[in-house]
Amino acid sequence: MTGGVLGTGPVVRNAGRDDVMAICHFGEEHVRAHYARLIGEEAAARQVRMWWHETNIAGAVARGSVVVAHEGGCLAGVGQRGRDGAEYMIEKLYVRSRNRGGGLGARLLDVLIGQLPPDAERVYAEHFMANERAGVFCEREGFTVERSEHGVVRCVRDLR
């Protein structure tokens, strides 16, 4: 629910095979521009090449690890969960700039956490230190900073 009106706002659902190219395009268009302001154009391009390419996205979608938010036929947000060894991770959580501030990031996060096994005790997320908005979001959503190193902040949220 956004704007206090039931039934309005983006629809959040599991991503399907037909979403793969739209997700890749979302990364190129929205994530790259966002990162460029934080870490520079070259580093942003490298991040998108590494994490938003078709093979990576298609594999994550096939595993059922990606959720998307659609509004008006356009992708409004993307979230992805995964593993780092034994730990559960929020690997991607991005909302199109015009959809920020309406709770869509929290909705995507809730869906991703809801897909974790019932015995999951915690979930981790990482963001670039320069991404102050991500830091505020993580804190508001119950994450605490575990460590900061090499320009990356690692946060944890207790699920118990």
Answer whether residue 55 is part of any domain: yes
Query: Structural domain tally of the chain?
Result: 1
Answer whether residue 36 is part of any domain: yes
CA 95-143-56 angle, 5° bins: 45
In tens, the pLDDT along 44-57 reads: 999 999 999 999 99
**What are 87's two structure tokens?**
């730990």
CATH at residue 96: 3.40.630.30
In tens, the pLDDT along 11-63 reads: 999 999 999 999 999 999 999 998 999 999 999 999 999 999 999 999 999 99
Range of the domain at 50: 11-158
**What are 138's two structure tokens?**
């993580």
Q: How far apart are CA 52 and CA 104, in angstroms?
A: 20
Residue with tokens 């154009």: 41
Answer whether residue 82 is part of any domain: yes
Answer whether residue 2 is part of any domain: no
Answer whether residue 52 is part of any domain: yes
Answer whether residue 117 is part of any domain: yes
Query: How large is the angle between the packed helices 32-39 and 41-51, nearest 10 degrees?
Result: 140
pLDDT class of 127 with cuts at 50, 70, 90: very high
Please, which residues bridge with residue 80 across strands? 66, 92
What's the predicted TM-score (pTM) here?
A: 0.90
